[in-house]
Structure 1
Amino acid sequence: MKTILLLVTLIFSAMAVSSCTNDEGETEFEHLNPEEEQQAALKTESGQKIGD
């Protein structure tokens, strides 16, 4: 009985792990060069000033 429960647990664990994949093919983080980073920072600052 314990072995059956162990096998069922392992099967569900394997299904859970295999379903956690990134199918988009993109990386999680964008690689910005310093110029793009500065432009993004300026956009957020100007957006906050207008919204206030």
Structure 2
Amino acid sequence: MKTILLLITLIMASLAVSSCTNDESDTDFEFLNPDEEQQATLKTEQENVN
């Protein structure tokens, strides 16, 4: 009985560890130049006024 519970615990632990890994391949960063950042700021400010 102890061995069955130990095996179940090990299986559940391995599932928890394997599901926590970040397998997303999206590592691209979006670089904004100062002009794009200023335009985005102005756009959000105009939306807040309206």
TM-score, normalised to structure 2, is 0.50
Q: The residue matched to 2:27 in structure 1 has which SS? A: coil
* Structure 1, gaps ≥5 residues long: none
In structure 2, the residue matched to 1:19 is 19
* Structure 2, gaps ≥5 residues long: none
Q: Give a deviation string over 1:3-50, Cα, whole Å, max 9, x none.
A: 543432232222233234344x21386332322222221111111111
- Number of aligned residues: 48
Give the percent of matched residue pairs that are identical in Structure 1 and Structure 2: 58
Larger Rg belongs to: 2
Could you list the runs of 4 or more consecutive aligned residues of structure 1 that deviate by over 4 angstroms after TM superposition? none
* CA-atom RMSD in angstroms: 2.8
